[in-house]
Structure 1
Amino acid sequence: MGQTAFLETAQGRRLAYRKTKGRGPTIVFLGGLKSDMEGTKAVHLEAWAQAQGRAFLRFDYSGHGESSQKFEETCIGDWHEDTLEVIDRLCDGPIVPVGSSMGGWQALLLARARAGRIHGMVTIAAAPDFTEDGYVASFTDLQKQTLDTVGQIELPSDYMEPYIITKRLIEDGRARLVLRDPLELPFPVRCLQGTADTAVTTDTALRLLEHATCDDMRLLLVKDADHRFSDGPCLGLIEQAVSEVLGAV
């Protein structure tokens, strides 16, 4: 396994990452909101890539894990900048982004910015546009007022302490929506989604499938799988999906 190293970005942020050498394309794991590179899927996929002799990279966005900044100081655009810096400065040649939840949105933003670098893509419970279609759509009038006047609100989480959702996160997310305008994905894409996911619905997965323009895009719905998508069978499906896009021409 690679050792933790740090990348100083052009924006002055310090990103923690682990890189495993091997043959390309480089598999790049893009984690979810408030997740980090020590999560089950990231670590499992790194071990799998190493066993296959594949190049692999996992990292913490700013405000996550070992990287600099506080979570509530960061937003979708910051994490997009982080992703671009990591890809541009740490990866040679083609890449295969594997985006989990919010990381799926980041993978789609990456497709807009660096389509020529992407050999194929895998998403796991992808959550594109969740700040608008998930958060804002469900806010009460009181929450909207609090966000506007105080600048942040707290939302409960099924996995950890409450999320601090800032006005900046919402406004920045609104500027980076991917399901309102054409979304070209000129490479193989495999999308994985659990039917028991309470954070991202199958409707979101179907909406992405229908919206994107792609000649080789498949969605696999897994009965009773939850948002973590990290038990043994689900991890095996992730391996299979990555293998498919790596082998696709």
Structure 2
Amino acid sequence: MTDHLTRPDGEHLALKQVEGEGPVVLWVGGFRSDMEGTKALALEAAARERGWAFVRYDHFAHGQSTGEWRKATVGRWCEDACALVDHLVGTGGRQVVPVGSSMGGWVALNLTLARPQAVKGLVLINPAQDFTERLMWPDLGPDRQAEILETGETLMPDEGLGPYVLTRTMFEEARTRVLPEGPLPVRCPVHILQGRKDTSVPWRHQLALIAQLESAEVRLDLIADGDHRLSGPGDLARMIAAVEAMRSV
């Protein structure tokens, strides 16, 4: 059954929940991904088998959630994540374990900075913090960059999900969500799963993050044959084990 969280502007976040004990495992998906992906469903199955509390949801303008794509921004996705966590934990002191994949890793980090007491620990899968500025914008090339600056958007091809628009607004707003330089006050345990063969988020992208984190427990698993999806049977088992361990810290 799909539930909905209504936001102040009338938009709705679609989410699916599994009742269980302990901290709420929260799936935070990636850019243009939805909550029906392989990793999200594998976590839900594990939650049902092991008695975890679990929630997966779609970002604004993704999947079953409402919202106009051209109005989507990283800030909106981060604010929605905070609102969802506020809704889940209430005033009872319950915590969440965000599992952030790709862009969801960036959202999860911003969530942790905004709600440090609510986050028990982070599991990040090929996290793409600051990707708009550091990864996507440089890869667009001068022609597409110029088109975005001059017209406000460009149409990107995608053989899998279909073409989509990148807006100047998204890039400009995302700069307000770039992680600050220097020590990063994320003090909960952090476990990063990173594919060495990931061509979307190079594994060296995580080195600066690891150097910044103030957490006393930071673990990086560099998976030799891993790609950006990390959705093979071994990858899913590794992810579930990481979440199980994080729930117990």
Secondary structure in 1 aligned to 2:13? strand
Secondary structure in 1 aligned to 2:5? strand
State the partner residue of 1:221.
222
1:210 Cα deviation after fit: 1.7
Q: Note if 1:100 corresponds to 2:101.
A: yes
TM-score (structure 1 length as normaliser):
0.94
> Which of the numbers 7, 22, 42 marks the counterpart of 2:5?
7
Change (3 A) 1:158 1:105: farther
Check conservation: 2:22, 2:247, Cα contact below 8 A: no
Q: Which moved more, 1:76-85 or 1:173-182?
A: 173-182
State the partner residue of 1:130.
131
Secondary structure in 2 aligned to 1:205? helix
Distance 2:209 2:158 in 1: 24
Secondary structure in 2 aligned to 1:142? helix
1:216 Cα deviation after fit: 0.2
State the partner residue of 1:151.
152
Which 4+ runs in 1 deviate beyond 6 A? none
Instruction: Tell me the matched-pair count.
Output: 246
State the partner residue of 1:187.
188
Check conservation: 1:95, 1:117, Cα contact below 8 A: yes
Distance 1:202 1:166 in 2: 27
Check conservation: 1:34, 1:71, Cα contact below 8 A: no
Secondary structure in 1 aligned to 2:23? strand
Compute the RMSD of aligned alpha carbons: 1.4
Check conservation: 2:47, 2:54, Cα contact below 8 A: yes
State the partner residue of 2:140.
139
Structure 1 segment 16-31 matched on structure 2, within 5 A: 16-31=14-29
Q: Which moved more, 1:206-215 or 1:13-22?
A: 206-215
Residue type of the alignment partner of 1:51: E
Residue type of the alignment partner of 1:8: T
Check conservation: 1:104, 1:127, Cα contact below 8 A: yes
Structure 1 segment 1-249 matched on structure 2, within 5 A: 3-92=1-90, 93-157=94-158, 159-178=160-179, 180-248=181-249
Distance 1:222 1:179 in 2: 27
1:181 Cα deviation after fit: 4.5
1:225 Cα deviation after fit: 1.1
Residue type of the alignment partner of 1:173: A
Distance 2:84 2:182 in 1: 26
User: Which structure 1 segments of 5+ residues have no match?
Assistant: none
1:157 Cα deviation after fit: 4.0
User: Which structure 2 segments of 5+ residues have no match?
Assistant: none
Distance 2:89 2:139 in 1: 38
Q: Which moved more, 1:63-72 or 1:97-106?
A: 63-72
Distance 1:158 1:203 in 2: 27
TM-score (structure 2 length as normaliser):
0.94
Q: Which digits, 9 at most, give the CA deviation of each residue in 1:104-135, with x for residues without a partner?
A: 00010001100111111100000000000012
1:72 Cα deviation after fit: 2.6
Q: Which moved more, 1:4-13 or 1:118-127?
A: 4-13
Identical pairs, percent: 37
Secondary structure in 2 aligned to 1:139? helix
